[in-house]
Structure 1
Amino acid sequence: MGLRVAVVGATGNVGREMLEILSERLFPADEVIALASRRSMGSEVSFGDKTLKVKDLEQFDFSGVDLVLMSAGGDVSREWSPKIGATGAVVIDNSSAWRMDPRVPLVVPEVNPEAVHGYEKLNIIANPNCSTAQLVVALKPLHDRAKVKRVVVATYQSVSGAGRDAMDELWNQTKKLYVGDEIVKEQFTKQIAFNVIPHIDVFMEDGYTKEEWKMMAETKKILDPSIKLTATCVRVPVFVGHSEAVNIEFEQPITAEEAQEILREAPGVMLVDRREDEGYTTPIECVGEFATFVSRVREDATVENGISLWCVSDNLRKGAALNAVQIAELMLNKGLFKRVRAA
């Protein structure tokens, strides 16, 4: 029996990616409904070889819907996810609204699949932050082997993480620089074209940004609360694909060769690590791929039991849409959807 699935925020970057991945992975849906705000009602989005007419979220009846993939922002999710969950549908939310709520599991299927069983309190499951998702996929198999003690990570995050308007701003600024026109800043605090900005989300009292705090808090919730993590999150002039330079201190000894062997067999990881020109992965190569790519694995001689590595992933996929669909697949395999379970 197929499911009845709704995608909220279907006209956005991640919503469109959710529809594409549902089609690519042949998710067993009898019906897929595209939902968005009233101003998008009647517009069209692609689902495989079909075209879906977008319906108004506020007028839609969720009775009989099994699964809702929510990618419409935190405010919309805070208002609508509990209402939808109360109808019996399971909401997998891509915003930050529910990630740290103790009643809501925060899930990366390759890392903590067992956490999905906690969804029934609110019928909501949270998707992690895009930069956290790829990080914990790389950390998990190494943590199982040598126990991660401390992580220092610098992220190089693409503009697609800030939405379609941010991608347009990079494109428009780049064109204007070539012809000498005035640069307009609307989505970012500084010029993004040919620049890097060490500022994602709002600043907190301790000097970290909210994005950096998310990586710290979410890694603890998903992987291990004892892990110490510090992050510097940077926006870079790349359209799609987040990169991370990761330094890991372990409790137990581990060599670079052991880490490579572990990562080579790890679920969700693609190891591309040849110590030669082009023997590593960059954001361009990861676009459209499902894997989290790991390269440049090497020992850090400045700390005991230290490893450094480079991690790249398509942030619209593993960092958002793919992870949400993988959670849905995990639930389906465990027989957790009520209508399927009853059948």
Structure 2
Amino acid sequence: MGRKRKGRDISGWLVIDKPAGPTSTAVVNKVRWALDAKKAGHAGTLDPEATGVLAVALGEATKTVPYITDALKAYTFTMRLGIATNTDDAEGEVIATSDLRPGDDAIKSALSAFIGDIEQVPPQFSAVKIDGERAYKRARDGEAMDIAARPLWVESLLLIDRPDADHATLEMVCGKGGYVRAIARDLGAALGCHAHVRDLRRIWSGPFDAEDGLTLEQIDAMAKTPELDAHLLPLETGLTDLPEVTASAEGAQRLRNGNPGMVFANDVDYGDTCWASRDGRAVAVGIFRSGELHPSRVFNAPPGDDSSD
């Protein structure tokens, strides 16, 4: 029998404004410790040197992580022009240089090729798996890999600042699986000057905004106190991009048992993925068919909740 995991059965989201330095996993571990939570995860890895929104899911909210991962995200990043690195960021070794420095008009003109449905090759130093092994592990051993291009939706890509001739700051809104480092690398190649990411910040991710995030210093200061609990957002926050339907009392009970349940729906079509609520609480996520929700994910009722009785 497996060992029972220690900690509180606490559910919800905590938004962190991640600093440069720690890994996303390290941040999740700190949040789990600070809240004495039994279960925690995050919605979308940030590189150690990246900053900004890291949304940490706790307890039942971890079941909503895929819907945040699939949501649009926004980044600001500064490119260093004239230098390519093997990691496509400032941490790597210089592999090519150029004296060319394109002007603002040239950069703006090149951006159109990176908007909409594009194909992107992930960086050599990335978490993509190649024959079952992470690419960055093989790259550290000096291996050059042929990584297949992957589709990416880029909603927008704008030049927002030009600090000097060597740097350009951009803002990008994109879908799931985007590598900002690859955008900088490929844009530098398109401009004929090489480029890498000098700094990167995720300013929002789905419903979560960096301005609302707690710092790690604040987490330390409020650790193990009700004050930190008060910053938790409900697990339903992770479902805001999905349409909501309302479960009947009997429907909620059936859904919690993993069976299709009757729901009341407006502006929902047959076959849509949506989530069912009962008394404002999430009951399940599933597919809507002919007045019923067919569940794919079911949420346990909070302690003391009698909505499934």
Please give the TM-score of this superposition, normalised by the length of structure 2.
0.23
Structure number with bigger Rg:
2
Greater strand proportion? 2
Higher relative contact order, structure no. (Cα contacts within 8 Å, ≥ 6 residues apart): 2
Greater helix proportion? 1
Please give the TM-score of this superposition, normalised by the length of structure 1.
0.22
